[in-house]
Structure 1
Amino acid sequence: MKYLFALSISFLLTAQSGFSQSEKSKALPRIKVSENKHYFVTEDGKPFFWLGDTGWLTFSKLDRAGVEKYLQDRKAKGFNVVQVMVLHNLNAVNAYGDQALMNDNLADQITSPGNDPDNAPEYDYWDHIDYTLEVAQKNGIYLAMVPVWGTNVSKGNKVSKEQAVKYAKFLADRYKNKTNVIWLNGGDTHGNEFQDIWNAIGSTLKTSNPNQLVTFHPFGRTDSSDDYHNASWLDFNMFQSGHRRYDQDSSKTAFKEDNYKFVHRDWDLKPTKPTLDGEPSYEGIPHGLHDTLQPKWTANDVRRYGYWSVFAGGAGYTYGHNAVMQMFRKGDKPAYGNKELWYDAINAPGAGQMVYIKNLMLEFPYLERVPDQSLVASQGQKYDYQVATRGNDYALIYTYNGRKITVNMGKIAGDKVTAAWYDPKNGQKTKIGVFDNKGTKEFQPSGKKEDGNDWVLILTSNK
C-alpha cells in the first residue's frame, strides 16, 4: 500500500485538487429549488434544466486524461449534470491503484498529505475526486454523487449507522465549499429497507451543507417519493423507470415504459418538490437488462423517455449509455452484454440528441410551465401516447410515432396561434401556419406512423 498515513478531518478541509490557484476555474452558481417548487434555478434565479448523464464509474475507472476527455465531451453535447458513484464497493480502487477505505471500513478513509499527481504517495483516491470536481466545474458540470452504492448496505450488513454518519460527515466536510456538488443518497436500492442508514446519511449531508441539494436514487420502477418524500433532507424526487420492458416474470402483460406516470404522481404531492427520471432505460442496454439476447434500447427510446417525462412536468432528465455508465475499457469484464468502449460510446446518437430537449425547454418561459393533458383531444395508449405541456403563451405536444395530433385549442392566450414542428433528432423547426385558437385542430406530422418518427408540435400565441 502506497499510503503513508491517514489524515485528520482538519487537514482534509484544506485539501486541494491538484490545480494551481491560477488554473482553478470560477465556482459554478449553486443550484436550488425554484419558488414554485417544481423546477431548479441557479442561485441568481436563472432557470436550470437538469440534463444528466450517468457516468457512474468515473471516479474509479478514469484517469486524469480520461476525466478531461469525458467531461469535455459532455459539455460539448450540452450536459450539465453527471451522476457518479463515490464508492461502488467498499474495496473501491481507482485507476491509479488508490484504495478509498482502510479495511473496507466506510468510516476509515485513506488519505495522504499533499495532492501532487506526479507523486504517487501524495495523490490519493479522494484527491482524484477533488480533481474530477474541478474539471467538471471548468466544463460547467455539476456532479451528482452517490456516497455509497446501495448494495454495500443492503447485502452482508457491512455498514452500520455509526459508520454511515461518520462517512457522511467526512464527505460533507471535504466538499462543503464545492458549489457543483449534488448528493444522490441510496444508489439503486429499495427505499423501504435500511431506512435508518439512508436517513442518517441524508440528514448528515443536508444538516452539514444546507445549500447542497440532496435526493435519493431508488431501485428500478420505484421513486424516492415512495419512502422519503416528507424527509427533511430530501430536496427533490428522483425515480428510476428503467430498464425492463415488462415485469420480471416475463408475462408481457404490463407496459413498463410509462415513466410519465411517476412525474404525474409526484407533481401532485405535498409538499411540492421537483422530480425527474434519474435512470431510464439506457441506450445500448438489452430490453431484459440481463438477457443479452434481447434487442437493445436505442436513441429513439431515450428520446421518448426524455420528452414523456419532461413534458409531464419533470425538472430535467438523465440519459444513460450501457458502455459509458460502466466506463468500459479494454480488458474489463463487461456487464449487460456491452462490447463498446466508453470513449467510442460517448458519441452514440442518443447522447448527441439530448441537448435538443434542453434547448427547447429553455426557449420558452420555463418557470411558468405546467403539464396539461387537456390539450390532447384524442389520447392513445402505449407508444401512441401523446404528452403535453404549456405556459401562458405556448404549448408543446410530443408524439413518439408520428400519430396525428388532435389539439383542444384555446388553452393558451391569443385569438390566433402559430404552429410549427420541432424535430427531436436535430432540433430543426418547420413552420406549419397560423390558426384560430378555438375548437379542435388536427396536425399531421410528416412521415409514416412508426416508432421513432417523433415530433413536437409547438403552438405560440399571436398577440
Structure 2
Amino acid sequence: MVGLLGWVCLLGLACGTSFAADSEAKQWLPYEVVLNAIGGYGNPYKDVEVNVTFVPADTARRYLVNARGEPFFWLGDTHWSGFSLAEHTRDNNDPFYNDSTSMFQEILTRRVAQGYTVWKAESFANNDEGVDCAGSASDGSVTHWHTSSTWTSLWVRECQAHINRAQTVAFPGGNAPINHGGPAWINNTFFSLPNPAFWQDIDDRVALVNQAGLLAALAVGIGRSMPTNATLADHMRLSKYFFARYAAFNTVWLTCQEYCTSTACPDCWATIAATIWSMDPYRRPNSMHNCATNPIAYHDQPWYSFVTLQLGHGSLASVDHWLAQYNATPARAIIEDEANYELLVPPYQPVTSEMTRQTAWQAVIGGSFGYTYGGQGLWWGCWNRTYVNGNCGTVGSSAYKTWNETLHFPTGVTALGHWRDFWSQLPWWQLAPDGLVAEWSVLAPRFSQKPYQKSTPDRSVVVAYLPPSPCGTYTGMLHLPVTTPAPYSVFWFNVTSGEYLRLMTNVSGSVAVPEAPSTSDWALLATTNASHIDMARTHAYGRQDSEHDSRFHAPAASWHLVANVTSLGTPRQGPATVGLNFSLDEAATAVALGRYKLPDNGDCHQLSLYGPDGRTLVAQAYVNMAAAADANGFVYAGLVSPVRLQPGVPYYLVDNNSGPDSFANDDQTRLVPSTAGSISSSVFGGPGTFQAGGGGPNSGYGPVDLVFELASSQVRAK
C-alpha cells in the first residue's frame, strides 16, 4: 500500500474551496474520490477544473520499473482500435483457442505468453474521420489507414442503434468513436460533455491490460484533429480528462498519434504534452508519436522523455534512420513505435514477414530500446472474413487476415520471440551503437541492407546484425580488446530459428569474421561470458548454402522484354527510382529481373515490379552488379517465386535501390521491345507516384529488363 495525501481544489467555486482526503491506495490501480459541489453547474466537464496533488509515501516508487527494479525491455503490440467495438470484450470467435471469454482477453493471454510487454492504443475521442456505421468514408473512399477509425463497423447494428437512440446520423464535427458504452460524447457533440459509459468501457480495458502484466502506452487520438491552436483549449481539457482517468494505471503517455503531419499543429500538442507531464506525480515516460518524417524536435524539453519514431510501412531503411535520432543532442531514449506491420495489405504498402523481422533487429542495433510490433488483422481488429473495413483490406482476398490469424504470424510470434530472448540474455541497456568495433568488406551491401553493430562500453559484449544479403555473403573484422588469456567466444545467431552456431573461442584483438552461413539475415555475438547460451541449441559453424549458385540461368523458352538496346542515354548519378512502363500481349509468368551493367555500378541493386496501380508490389529481386553481363549487357536475378502477369495491363519495372554513387542511363535510352510486349514510356518517382519520363515509347531509364515465359506454346520471333 502506498499512502497518498490528496489536496483537491475545485476551481470555479466562489470561495476557492479546498478538500483534503487522507487515505491509502495501491499504486497503479484507480482510486476514486466522490466530490459534491456546493453549487450547480450546467456542464461540470467545462465549468469545473479539479487539481490534485499527490505526495507518495516512497518517492522511489515514482519511477516506472518492473517488479525486479530492472531496465524495461519494450516489445509492444499495436491496437489502434483497442478501445472500440473492433476488439470484442464480450465474445470470442476463435475456433482454435476459445477458452478465453472474449477476443480481447485471448489477445492479452496469448501476447503475454509470447513475451510482449507493452499494449498500445488510442481513444480517438478527438477525431472526426467522417465515417459511417458501415466503416467507409463519407465519399466512399479509403485514403488513410485511419479513415475507418472513429466508427468501427464490426457491429454495424449496435453502431446504428446508438445513432437511432441519439435521433441523429450526423452532428457538428462529424462522427464520434463508439464502444460498448456508446459514443464518446453526450449527444454526439465533440468536446461537449463526455459520456461516462464510453470511458468506463475503456477503464475496464486498461485494467485488463495491466492485470495481464502489460504496460499500457496511451494516446488521446490522431494529431491532425488539431490543425491550429483554435481548438487547443478543447484538446487540452480532453487530454487532462484522459490523464485523470488513466494516471492511476501503469501507463506511459504518447500524447497523440502523428503529432507532426502537415495538417497537425506540433507546438499545440507539445503544449499539451508538457502540461500533462507537469501534472503527473510519477513523471512517467512522456512522448509524442511521430509522423513518418520523424523530425528531431523537443529533445531539449524536460517533458520529452523518449522519442517515439515511425519509420512507416512498405519499405526498409538503413540503420542510419535510427542512428540519426540516437546521436541527436541532447540525448534521448528512442523507440521504434510504428514500422512495417507484418503482412500489411493494400491500400497500404505491402509488408512481408521478413521486412518486419529486419526492422525490429535494425531498430535495436541503431539504439532503440525495443520495438512496437503491428500485425495485419490486429493493428486494426478484423473480426472475421466478412468484416468490411478499409484497414482490413479487401473482403474475399487471400491476403485478408483476421485477428486470430495474426496471433500465429511467423515474425510476431516466433522470430520476435527469438529476438526478445537474444537481447534479454544480454545487458542490452549497456549496449550502444559502435561504428568502430567492426568493419565489413567492400562486398557488404549498403543502404537498407547495411550491416551495423553495438557494444558495451568495455566491448566485453559486441552484437552485429547483418540484414539479408541477396547479392551474396561477405566477410568482416571485429576489433576486440587485446587480453591475455583471450576470453572471447564468437557465435552466429540464427534469427529465424533461435539457434547459435559456434564460430570461434578463446580469441581477442582483431578477429576475422568469415561469411555468414547464408544470404539470409544473421546476428553476430562476441562475448566474454557465454554462460547464458544454451549449448543444446548450439552447433558448429558451417556454410548452409555452399552449393548455391546465385547466377540466373534463363529457361530455354523464356522471353526478354528488352530484345535489344540500340543506344544508351547519358549516365546520371543517383539516388533515384527509375525504370519503364510496359505491357504484355498475352498472359505470362515473370521469372527474372535484370539491370544493364554500367562500369561504376558494382553494388547490389534492388529491382521491383509493380502492378497496374503503380503501388502494389508484384515481384522483387536483387541484382549483383559485380557479376558478368550477358551478350546484351544485362545482369539478372531470378525470382524466388515466379509471378503471373496479365495481358494488356500496364506494369512498372524499376530500379529502386540506386545509391548516391550509383548510375543509370537517362530517358534517352532507346530500346527494342520483344514482339510479345510493348514499352510505353520511361518512368520515375515511387510507388503510387510514378510519372512518365521523356523519350516517348521504347525508352527507359537504367535500363531494366524482364524475363518471362508465355502461357501459350505459340512460337514467335523474340
Q: Under a length normalisation based on structure 2, what TM-score does the superposition of the two structures give? A: 0.52
**Contact 1:284–1:323 at 8 Å: present in 2 too?**
no
How many residues align structurally? Answer: 399
CA spacing shift, 1:183–1:281, aligned 2, 3 Å: same
**Contact 1:51–1:317 at 8 Å: present in 2 too?**
yes
> Is 1:84 the counterpart of 2:102 in the alignment?
no
CA spacing shift, 1:170–1:284, aligned 2, 3 Å: same
Root-mean-square deviation (CA, aligned residues, Å) is: 3.0
Larger strand percent: 2
- SS of the equivalent of 2:372 reads strand
Match of 2:204 in 1: 131
CA spacing shift, 1:326–1:159, aligned 2, 3 Å: farther
CA distance in 1, matches of 2:529, 2:303: 44
Match of 1:105 in 2: 190
Bigger drift between 406-415 and 83-92 goes to 406-415
- SS of the equivalent of 1:213 reads coil
CA distance in 1, matches of 2:483, 2:179: 56
**Structure 2 letter corresponding to 1:270:** T
Measured against aligned partners, the alpha-carbon deviations of 1:170-219 in whole angstroms (never above 9, x if no partner) come to 122212221x2111123124267413430232123211214222111111
**Contact 1:395–1:458 at 8 Å: present in 2 too?**
yes
> Is 1:326 the counterpart of 2:380 in the alignment?
yes
Please state how far the C-alpha of 1:443 moved relative to its aligned partner. 2.5
Please state how far the C-alpha of 1:44 moved relative to its aligned partner. 5.8
Match of 2:513 in 1: 442
Match of 1:165 in 2: 236
Match of 1:145 in 2: 218
CA distance in 1, matches of 2:291, 2:341: 15
Please state how far the C-alpha of 1:267 moved relative to its aligned partner. 2.0
Match of 1:335 in 2: 391
Match of 1:14 in 2: 32
CA distance in 2, matches of 1:346, 1:462: 35
**Contact 1:106–1:159 at 8 Å: present in 2 too?**
no
**Structure 2 letter corresponding to 1:70:** I
**Contact 1:220–1:243 at 8 Å: present in 2 too?**
no
**Structure 2 letter corresponding to 1:168:** S
CA spacing shift, 1:424–1:92, aligned 2, 3 Å: farther
Please state how far the C-alpha of 1:106 moved relative to its aligned partner. 3.0
**Structure 1 letter corresponding to 2:217:** A
**Contact 1:422–1:429 at 8 Å: present in 2 too?**
yes
**Contact 1:290–1:336 at 8 Å: present in 2 too?**
no
- Residue 306 (structure 2) aligned to one of 228, 236, 239: 236
Please state how far the C-alpha of 1:160 moved relative to its aligned partner. 0.9
**Structure 2 letter corresponding to 1:357:** W
Question: Max radius of gyration: which structure?
Answer: 2
- Residue 381 (structure 1) aligned to one of 434, 446, 466: 446
CA spacing shift, 1:184–1:412, aligned 2, 3 Å: farther
**Contact 2:318–2:450 at 8 Å: present in 1 too?**
no
CA distance in 2, matches of 1:134, 1:204: 25
CA spacing shift, 1:43–1:233, aligned 2, 3 Å: farther
**Structure 1 letter corresponding to 2:182:** D
CA spacing shift, 1:364–1:50, aligned 2, 3 Å: same
CA spacing shift, 1:421–1:63, aligned 2, 3 Å: same
Match of 1:117 in 2: none
**Structure 1 letter corresponding to 2:233:** E
**Structure 2 letter corresponding to 1:160:** T
Please state how far the C-alpha of 1:13 moved relative to its aligned partner. 5.9
**Contact 2:259–2:288 at 8 Å: present in 1 too?**
no
Measured against aligned partners, the alpha-carbon deviations of 1:355-405 in whole angstroms (never above 9, x if no partner) come to 222221221123321111223311530354112111232111111225334
Bigger drift between 416-425 and 90-99 goes to 90-99
* Stretches of structure 2 lacking an aligned partner (at least 5 in a row): 1-9, 12-18, 20-29, 35-59, 90-101, 129-174, 395-399, 531-718
> Is 1:359 the counterpart of 2:430 in the alignment?
no
CA spacing shift, 1:110–1:300, aligned 2, 3 Å: same
**Structure 1 letter corresponding to 2:409:** A
> Is 1:317 the counterpart of 2:371 in the alignment?
yes
Match of 1:54 in 2: 78
Measured against aligned partners, the alpha-carbon deviations of 1:299-328 in whole angstroms (never above 9, x if no partner) come to 211111111110111111111112211111
**Contact 1:408–1:439 at 8 Å: present in 2 too?**
yes
**Structure 2 letter corresponding to 1:326:** W
**Structure 1 letter corresponding to 2:430:** E
**Structure 1 letter corresponding to 2:428:** Y
- SS of the equivalent of 2:465 reads strand
- Residue 293 (structure 2) aligned to one of 221, 236, 248: 221
- Residue 395 (structure 1) aligned to one of 441, 462, 474: 462
Match of 2:474 in 1: 404
- SS of the equivalent of 1:63 reads coil
CA spacing shift, 1:366–1:168, aligned 2, 3 Å: same
**Contact 1:160–1:197 at 8 Å: present in 2 too?**
no
- SS of the equivalent of 1:228 reads coil
Please state how far the C-alpha of 1:268 moved relative to its aligned partner. 2.1
CA spacing shift, 1:384–1:435, aligned 2, 3 Å: farther
Q: How does 1:234-313 map to 2 (within 5 A)?
A: 234-245=304-315, 257-258=316-317, 260-286=319-345, 290=347, 296-313=350-367
**Structure 1 letter corresponding to 2:412:** A
**Contact 2:181–2:201 at 8 Å: present in 1 too?**
no
Measured against aligned partners, the alpha-carbon deviations of 1:32-57 in whole angstroms (never above 9, x if no partner) come to 58xxxxxxx54864021111111110
CA distance in 2, matches of 1:356, 1:107: 48
**Structure 2 letter corresponding to 1:84:** A
CA distance in 1, matches of 2:318, 2:61: 28
- SS of the equivalent of 2:503 reads strand
Q: How does 1:187-206 map to 2 (within 5 A)?
A: 187-190=257-260, 193-206=264-277
Q: Under a length normalisation based on structure 1, what TM-score does the superposition of the two structures give? A: 0.78
CA distance in 2, matches of 1:15, 1:357: 44
**Structure 1 letter corresponding to 2:378:** V
Please state how far the C-alpha of 1:165 moved relative to its aligned partner. 1.5
**Contact 1:32–1:43 at 8 Å: present in 2 too?**
no
CA spacing shift, 1:462–1:177, aligned 2, 3 Å: closer
CA spacing shift, 1:290–1:462, aligned 2, 3 Å: closer
CA distance in 1, matches of 2:270, 2:70: 31
- SS of the equivalent of 1:59 reads coil
Please state how far the C-alpha of 1:445 moved relative to its aligned partner. 2.4
CA distance in 2, matches of 1:66, 1:96: 14
**Contact 2:333–2:369 at 8 Å: present in 1 too?**
yes
CA distance in 2, matches of 1:129, 1:259: 38
Percent sequence identity is 20
Please state how far the C-alpha of 1:270 moved relative to its aligned partner. 2.6
**Contact 1:136–1:143 at 8 Å: present in 2 too?**
yes
CA distance in 2, matches of 1:346, 1:266: 31
Larger helix percent: 1
CA distance in 2, matches of 1:125, 1:398: 45
Please state how far the C-alpha of 1:97 moved relative to its aligned partner. 5.6
